[in-house]
Structure 1
Amino acid sequence: MRAIILCAQIFFAISTGANEMTDPVTLHMGENIILDNGLVQLGIREDGNLQELSLRGGPNLASSGYWNSNGNGYDEQGAPIAQKFAVLKGDAKIVRQSDELVEVAFVREPAAPFFFRTALHYVLRRGEPGFYIYMTAAHDAQMPAGSITQYAYNLRLAPQHFDYIAVDDTRRHISHSIEDEAAADRVMDATFGFADGRVVSKYDYTHAIEDGDFNLYGWAGPQAGVWWIQASGEYYGSAPFRVLLTSHQTAKTPIIIWQAHCVHRGGYEIEFRPEDETDWQKIYGPAFIYLNDGGDYDTLWNDAKGQATTIVKKWPFAWMEHALYPRERGEVTGQLDFDDGTPAADAWVVLAPEGEHWSHENRGYHFWSRTDSQGRFNVQNVRPGRYGLFALGADQFFEFERSGVAVAAGGETALGRLSWERVVRGRRVWQIGTADRSTGEYAQGDDFHHWGLWRRYPSDFPQDVNFVIGKSREREDWNFAHWNWYSQNNAWNIVFDLDGKPKGKAILTLGIAVARGHNARGFGANDRAAELQVWVNDRQVGLVEVESTGGDSYRSARQSTRYSVREINFDAEWLSRGENVISLRHALAHPYTEGEEKGERGSGPGCIMYDAIRLEIE
């Protein structure tokens, strides 16, 4: 079988000879195609599957690297058929060849089960300690209808050479082995219980884009470190509030995953129904795979962090040549104020293709930034085009939106001062949390990368949640997730005093960051809405139904792309002078003891995660 082999070697600059840093990238045509820059060795099969990854002539560090998809087509009646996972294979094509760079692409035409034209590119550059990967996808009216639920690249590493996993400064450590995982008890997908009581899940190592640390993750061992570096996340749909898989252990190999597109945690399919004749194409990446050696694990990790900083600063890459990749970009600047003149500090500013809400859009590219203390923002490296601008967070339940933001190559789109209307329903009585799309300020909200956090609830809240306004603390007394399994009572109570008997209308606003329904037995169900009863002083005043955001609650998340706001209006006279109680109760709930067996296994109960809750009186 004809193979394509890219060869090179890499190690730290302090141990690299000058000739190795200046070797040209060479191409040798024969039974195999060989590329060599004097630093890294790569061996790629003729269909695009990576077979070799070695450092300075050392052992093969890779088990395999493959481009893959998950999606579906449609039957003759136009109904979607079942999704299928596929390892993609393409035909090899030499795209560019010079002393400075060689680029090899593997091109796949639309075919079952993935009806998109796709390509995987490997790029090797002169003098660089690593290689680049990028992917493209395209669909037009001549192709069968289809959808993309996942488009990814998986790099499996040789298990004998890697024992240290790292995804950020906090989550980096010696990992359990493939043998440990093979012998462990499977709890749910990619989640295993060990004899010592630990439960380890691939979801414990996810990255949330909005946390700002999604640029770097990987593995290290005595031979080398292998690190995945993303300079930009512009190609992620529904960004920036996305949660992505990174590195984890499996029963076969350590793995690094690049989820260029995925529906996990509130994302949406890229869908082309039979009646959709849109011509579409998109580029994902490039990402840089960096190799290093020559130090202990702390040294390797810190060096990789430095390399990631360097790569990010180089975006967009000057060497990149592709019709879908504009090197010349623009920027969007402005100042965001509330309508009372105060600055909208620490707000998210998101640019998404015009015509659709940012949380649903995934065919195009997204760009984002945060406002400073004065409300000023600067969104950089924006592709030329027309965008909608959205602002969210800053303790606001409702977003700011402006359409018609035109960005030109090399130019600045200066929007000046923008006014964001504060939605005020009346006099604020109290608020729990900050409306910032996250539950990070609550109990366990700052330590959520663990499977089965519902198991801690009975010990953390043996009397359930009884939050007293003015006395209780959010970090200690309000759990980050309201499970539908309870300790003593199916009620989270908010207790507060009023100086007098109010009149008029009261408005209770719930910002909901995550929702997951539950079935008749009380266990979580991703396809069911969550139902919540709202009671005021033992009187039910509302029933809230929230569409499920998916598997966020059991996959180590504290927010989702799919955010919702519910306002419950009730007669303020139902409140009393003195003590009042507002109770939040799951419509379907069970004592924790009834769910305990399932609580030790599987995906646990349904839940609602509250971003913030506010009571106002007109």
Structure 2
Amino acid sequence: MDFHNLFLFLMLQFILVVIDNDIVQVNISNPEGCVTGIQYNGLDNLLEINNHESDRGYWDIVWDQGGEKRTKKGAKGKGKLDRLETTNMRVIMESEEQVELSFTRTWNLSLEGKLAPLNIDKRFIMLRGSSGFYTYAIYDHLKEWPAFDLDNTRVAFKLRKDKFNYMAIADNRQRFMPLPDDRLPPRGQVLAYPEAVRLVNPVEPEFKGEVDDKYEYACESRSNQVHGWISIDSSSDSTGCWLITPSYEFRSAGPLKQYLGSHLGPTMLSVFHSTHYSGADLIMKFGENEPWKKVFGPIFIYLNSNSDGFSPIKLWEDAKQQMVNEVESWPYTFPASEDFLSSAQRGKFEGRLLVRDRYIRDAFVPVSGAYVGLAAPGDVGSWQREYKGYQFWTITDDKGYFSIINVLPGDYNLYSWVNGFIGDYQCNNIINITSGSEINVGELVYEPPRHGPTLWEIGIPDRSAAEFYVPDPNPLYVNRLYVNHSDRFRQYGLWERYADLYPNEDLVYTVGISDYKKDWFFAQVTRKKDNNTYQGTTWRINFNLDSVNTKGTYKLRLALASVHYAELQIRINNLDATSPPLFSTGVIGKENTIARHGIHGLYWLYNIDVQGSLLVKGNNTIFLTQATKDGPFVGILYDYIRLEGPPT
């Protein structure tokens, strides 16, 4: 099958570029570079035809001027939306095997304050025999240009609401979806924030009473590789439209960062950078005279069909297999930009990771399933706040060996974390990757923070609060997908359930008697009072010590899975709020994880010295006070708590 010629159409006053390989036809506005139509499987356009042509398939950013020029609105994380419409189109490659188009926009000082100081190059690729097309982009900030902030960047495709009604983002996260019209009044009732809507009178009665919120469908970067929508027409012929991301090397903040994907619209997103579940820590800040260039993508928009009736499982399984094919083909050989490097231009880094915790086992133990990655040089754990460069991650095998392949040339630190152990590992040596290099670092040993023997512990050190008690939702706010589901924490309004369960007194946990799976509420949130204000909460951990070394030093380990505008104060055996606490975090975190149905955001680890003179033989109590009270979403998700005795 040969490519059609690349046609340029002039329709009235609108210039259109059409690429077609006899399987898929894609229409792109010229010179703006917006995808206005996708034709496949007899559908003249898979994209929402009622939307403006610039609001169907597009790249965009949320940005603001940097430093003192940042707007007040932008300081709250809103910023300025730029659809990245371009001003020039070039045919980079046209052959029987491939077409590649480049849509560019060049920045100059006359545009300061109007457009982000970036040169933009958006690329679209279609291959012979391929059931879909690729897109990627190159952002370039030159050295002499002004400072600016970048909050968010992504690719979005808005599909036809009259066709696509089944969404799939994982094996256990797929369902028929309501209509976007159901979110609008009077059919929908906005809840605590605009994204969350209760469907009070939907078109399809089966959705009545459910809550729709795009954040209920967020996904960690490490598993955010394929998602999309399925359509069925009157002839029982089903069509799937999928967004496949074959690598997350170009996404910010590592494998645990949570991003939006598919959600009601019907919408498909490939988000490369955002502040969701991280807050202001992940606003990209570029100073004056700071050069930066980054390639985002390519990603693949894949289309499939089934003429044997509506079978979402078949189309989903096929999309997953296509995702595997794309991952195995990474890095692609066909992008024409010299900024996208092939496998031969990249390097390899390998070694072995061992763990030694002498209070568990005084030996160097290989660990399987540990995440090991290369990211920009920084501090311990800095990879989760890193956004300007690329990150490359893998997991260790059952003997602790790891191999990180196809690493872009540059300077890196090696980072790791291991489920079951607190803290982060970092190899401080700068690792320089060059084209074609193969580096074997040998054996590395992670010795996690340890002071003395474990006296007691609560939870599992895995950077998540998922093991704690997640209540059933209020029956008024149910998303039926997450009923009897492993991700039950994704239900709306769970923060209000704390006051239902603890209307007057706060949580009390007794070591040796309580069960953290049942007795430790997953989030320490505020309590709503009758006058529509909120108060902080104080949780208690009761524990018994058979003996106390009054001259020794104990260690309290507090690993937090997420924090939002919270201040955690620690007191021991004395809840006198007028006296200074033993320890305070100060007000930290802007992650908004609780409101957005996440079970983790950024990871925080605190190691607190406890003098033995504060403890007594027999019954003791640690008071955990979350002191801020600015609304329902303030709070803490704990990962793990441990008290260690003095060294032995």
Normalising by the smaller structure, the TM-score range is: 0.7 to 0.9
Per-residue CA deviations over 1:124-149 (Å, capped at 9, x if unaligned) read: 11001111111111101233332211
Aligned alpha-carbon RMSD (Å): 2.4
From 415, 423, 430, the counterpart of 2:456: 430
CA–CA distance in structure 1, aligned partners of residues 214 and 9 of structure 2: 41
Contact residue 406 and residue 413 of structure 1 kept, 8 A: no
1:325 has 2:340 as partner: yes
Greater mean deviation of Cα atoms: 229-238 or 442-451: 442-451
Shift of 1:42: 1.3
Aligned to 2:603: 563
Deviation at residue 264 of structure 1 after TM alignment: 1.7
- Closer/same/farther in 2, CA of residues 30 and 66 from structure 1, 3 Å limit: closer
CA contact (8 A) 1:345 1:394 kept: no
Please say if 1:291 is aligned against 2:291. no
Counterpart of 2:519, as a letter, is D
CA deviations on 1:380-405 (whole Å, 9 max, x unpaired) are: 22223221101123334332212322
Deviation at 1:282, TM superposition (A): 0.5
> Could you tell me which of 81, 84, 90 is aligned with 1:88?
84
Distance 1:327 1:314 in 2: 11
3-state DSSP of counterpart to 1:163: strand
How far the C-alpha of 1:117 sits from its partner, in A, is: 0.9
Partner of 2:532: none
Which residue of the partner structure matches residue 169 of structure 2?
167
| Contact 1:464–1:486, Cα closer than 8 Å, also in 2 | no
Helix, strand or coil at the partner of 1:62: coil
Q: Using the TM superposition, name which of 136-145 and 347-356 deviates more.
A: 347-356
In structure 1, the residue matched to 2:483 is: none
| 1:375 paired to 2:386 | no
Q: Check the 8 A contact 1:442/1:478 in 2, yes or no.
A: yes
**CA–CA distance in structure 1, aligned partners of residues 341 and 70 of structure 2:** 37
| 1:30-429 map, 5 Å | 30-31=9-10, 32-46=16-30, 47-63=32-48, 64-74=56-66, 82=74, 83-90=79-86, 91-110=88-107, 111=111, 112-182=114-184, 183-187=187-191, 188-195=193-200, 196-209=208-221, 212-222=222-232, 223-249=238-264, 253-266=265-278, 268-274=282-288, 277-294=289-306, 295-328=310-343, 329-339=346-356, 340-355=363-378, 357-402=382-427, 403-429=429-455
Structure 1 runs of 4+ with >4 Å offset: 77-81, 459-464, 486-489
**Deviations 1:171-192 (CA, angstroms, capped at 9, x unpaired):** 2101011221122112213221
Compute the displacement of 1:574 (Å).
2.6
Change (3 A) 1:422 1:550: closer
- Summarize the Cα distance change of 1:189–1:381 in structure 2 as closer, same or farther, 3 Å threshold: farther
8 Å CA contact 1:225, 1:293 repeated in 2: yes
C-alpha offsets along residues 349-375 of structure 1, whole Å, 9 cap, x if unaligned?
A: 121023563233211100112223432
Cα shift readout 1:10-67 (whole Å, capped 9, x = no counterpart): xxxxxxxxxxxx2335313453443221101211111111111121342311021111
The answer to whether structure 1 residue 575 and structure 2 residue 621 are counterparts is no
Partner secondary structure for residue 298 of structure 1: helix
Taking the aligned partners of 1:407 and 1:44, their CA distance within structure 2 comes to 38
Q: Any residues of structure 2 matched to 1:461-610 within 5 Å, and which?
A: 464-485=506-527, 490-503=537-550, 504-517=552-565, 530-539=566-575, 540-560=581-601, 562-589=602-629, 604-610=632-638
> Between the two proteins, what is the percent identity of the paired residues?
29
Alpha-carbon separation, structure 2, partners of 1:79 and 1:224:
44
Aligned partner letter, 1:319: F
Contact 1:507 1:568 in 2 (8 A): yes
Q: Deviations over 1:137-166 (max 9, x none)?
A: 110123333221111111111111111111
Of 400-409 and 42-51, the range deviating more from structure 2: 400-409
User: What does 1:439-454 align with in structure 2 at a 5 Å threshold?
Assistant: 439-444=465-470, 446-454=487-495
Residue 374 of structure 2 contacts residue 412 of structure 2 at CA under 8 Å; is this kept in 1?
Answer: yes
Rounded to whole Å, the distance in 2 between the matches of 1:396 and 1:245 is 29
Q: Are the counterparts in 1 of residues 17 and 27 from structure 2 also a CA contact under 8 Å?
A: no
On the 8 A contact 2:536/2:628 being kept in 1, the answer is no
Question: What is the rounded CA distance, in whole Å, between the counterparts of 2:172 and 2:500 in structure 1?
Answer: 25
Deviates more, 1:492-501 or 1:302-311: 492-501
- Rate the CA distance shift 1:587–1:379 in 2: closer, same or farther, 3 A: same
Alpha-carbon displacement from aligned partner over 1:575-600 (angstroms, at most 9, x marks no partner): 2222222221222459xxxxxxx7xx
> 1-side partners of 2:445 and 2:173: how far apart?
40
8 Å contact from structure 2 (residues 251, 272) kept in 1: yes
- Residues 80 and 351 of structure 1: CA distance in aligned 2, closer, same or farther (over 3 Å): farther
Greater mean alpha carbon deviation, residues 505-514 or residues 156-165: 505-514
Asked whether the equivalents of residues 78 and 273 of structure 1 are also in contact (C-alpha less than 8 Å), the reply is no
Question: What is the DSSP-based 3-state SS (H/G/I as helix, E as strand, rest coil) of the residue aligned with 1:96?
Answer: strand
Residue pair 2:60, 2:81 contacting (<8 A) in 1 also = yes
Secondary structure of 2:317's match? Answer: helix
Distance across 1 between alignment mates of 2:260 and 2:65:
25
1:282-309 CA distance string (max 9 Å, x none): 1000000111111411221121111111
Normalised TM-score (structure 2): 0.82
Q: Matches of 1:460 and 1:376 in 2, distance apart?
A: 46
Q: Does structure 1 conserve the Cα–Cα contact (< 8 Å) formed by 2:523 and 2:637?
A: yes
Unaligned stretches of 5+ residues in structure 1: 1-21, 518-529, 591-597, 599-603
Q: CA deviation at 1:505?
A: 1.8
CA distance in 2, matches of 1:508, 1:226: 50
Pairwise CA distance, 1:606? 0.6
- Classify 1:589/1:279 alpha carbon distance in 2 versus 1 (closer, same or farther; 3 Å): closer
Higher mean displacement: 488-497 or 56-65: 488-497
The residue aligned with 1:601 is none
Using the TM superposition, name which of 367-376 and 289-298 deviates more: 367-376
Q: Quick one: structure 1 residues 480 and 304, their matched pair in 2 at CA, closer, same or farther if it must change by over 3 Å?
A: same
Q: What is the CA–CA distance in structure 2 between the aligned matches of 1:280 and 1:501, rounded to whole Å?
A: 56
Alpha carbons 1:392, 1:436 under 8 Å: kept: no
Contact 2:17 2:28 (8 Å CA) reproduced: no
- Contact 1:534–1:544 (CA<8 Å) still a contact in 2? no
Which SS does the other structure have where 2:590 is aligned?
Answer: coil
Q: Which amino acid aligns with 2:609?
A: N
Deviation track 1:547-603 (CA, whole Å, cap 9, x = no partner) reads: 21322221121222x32222332322332222222221222459xxxxxxx7xxxxx
Amino acid at match of 2:526: N
Give 1:303's aligned amino acid.
D
Return the letter of the residue paired with 1:413: I
Q: 1:477 to 1:376 in 2, by over 3 A?
A: farther
| Separation of aligned partners in 1, 2:90 and 2:597 | 41
Once residues 448 and 259 of structure 2 are traced to their aligned partners in structure 1, the CA distance between those partners, rounded to angstroms, is 32
Letter in 2 for 1:184: G
Change (3 A) 1:545 1:373: farther
